[in-house]
Chains A and B, each alone.
Chain A
Amino acid sequence: QVHLAESGGGVVQPGRSLRLSCTSYGFTFSQYALHWVRQAPGKGPDWVAGISYDGSIKYYGDSVRGRFTISRDNSKKTLSLQMNSLRPDDTAVYYCARDAAGYRSSRWDYWGQGTLVTVSS
């Protein structure tokens, strides 16, 4: 059974960094593109970043480009999100999601349970 599990969330001060991880089970990790999607409290989802199955292509939303870096380790079946220069408006639940169709797709068939990131002084 496919399972994604995020970790690494917490409370962090503005301007600091945080690294999120997403571990996977139940599917061939190296065959799928993956994404990070976040959702601020009471708001709709907001796509953050995506990465191709082999990690060769990465792309980012406008609000995080230059501050966040997505990466993956296929040998460890792990997706990561390095978040630098965090701002209060980065506060959200961060989800990892599997792309069922390829890196340029909104077809995300499995999601993790999310990890909460709170940016506050």
Chain B
Amino acid sequence: QSALAQPASVSASPGQSITISCTGTSGDVGGYNDVSWYQQHPGKAPKLIIYAVDTRPSGDSNRFFGSKSGNTASLTISGLRPEDEADYYCSSYRTGDTLVFGGGTKLTVL
């Protein structure tokens, strides 16, 4: 199954904001409100940071924001911190009882 499209990398300085896009089709991102975002540090399991397009798990940082327009979902991280440096992946339900990930975006905090 083809992955959702994400930029390979993004970088910014501490305190700045970045947005990562996740582009799919009407059969996945555009057709369902089931887009999640995961943060993964090296050697660790992915961590859920956004689900249902724009919902943060309770107690998690309010610097992470999710949104969606058409077939593209986005993750915005505000007030960047060094510990935000990680890989970020989107995921979505896809028609036909399949679940699909994005190819991943490496965030560098300069």
Q: Which A residues contact B (CB, under 8 angstroms)?
A: 35, 37, 44-47, 50, 59, 61-63, 95, 100-101, 104-109, 111-114
Among A63, A100, A104, which residue has its beta carbon within 8 angstroms of that of B97? A104
Q: Are B101 and A47 in contact (CB under 8 A)?
A: yes
Looking at the complex, which one of B35, B48, B98 makes contact with A109 (CB distance below 8 Å)? Answer: B48
Q: Roughly how many angstroms separate A46 CA and B57 CA in the complex, as a whole number? A: 22
Is A100 within 8 A of B38, CB to CB?
no
Measured in the bound complex, the distance between the Cα atoms of B1 and A62 in whole Å is 6
Question: Nearest chain B CB to A8's CB is how many angstroms away?
Answer: 17
> Do residues B101 and A45 form an inter-chain contact, with CB atoms below 8 A?
yes
Decide: A106 and B3 in contact? CB cutoff 8 A. Answer: no
**How far does the alpha carbon of A112 sit from the alpha carbon of B1 in the complex, in Å?**
24
Determine whether the beta carbon of B99 is less than 8 Å from that of A50: yes
Interchain CB contact under 8 A, A44 and B101: yes
Chain B's closest residue to A107 (CB) is B51
| Residue of B38, B51, B57 touching A45 (CB-CB under 8 A) | B38
Q: Which residues of A contact B93 (CB under 8 A)?
A: 104-106
A7 to chain B minimum Cβ distance, whole angstroms, is 15
Give, as a whole number of angstroms, the nearest-CB distance from A6 to chain B: 10
Q: How far is the CB of B53 from chain A (nearest CB, A)?
A: 11
Please report whether the interface of chain B is mostly helix, strand, loop or mixed according to DSSP: strand
Question: What is the bound-complex CA distance between A48 and B49, given in angstroms?
Answer: 21
The answer, yes or no, to whether B100 is at the interface (CB within 8 Å) is: yes
Contact assessment for A59 and B51 in the assembled complex, using a CB-CB cutoff below 8 Å: no
Q: Map CB proximity to A onto B71-110 as digits: 1 under 8 Å, 0 otherwise.
A: 0000000000000000101011100011111111000000
| Interchain residue pairs A-B with the least CB separation, the first 9 | A111-B45, A44-B104, A107-B51, A106-B91, A47-B99, A106-B36, A59-B97, A45-B101, A62-B1
Option from B35, B36, B40 in Cβ contact (under 8 Å) with A108: B36
- Contact residues, B36-53 vs A (CB, 8 A): 36, 38, 40, 45-48, 51-52
Q: Specify which of B91, B92, B98, B104 is in contact with A61 (CB 8 Å cutoff).
A: B98
A46 interface neighbour in B34, B35, B47, B101, Cβ under 8 Å:
B101
Taking A45-B38, A47-B100, A100-B51 as known contacts, 16 extra A-B pairs with beta carbons closer than 8 A to each other, sorted by chain A number, are: A35-B99, A37-B46, A45-B89, A61-B1, A62-B98, A63-B1, A95-B46, A101-B52, A104-B34, A104-B93, A105-B34, A106-B34, A106-B91, A108-B36, A108-B48, A111-B45
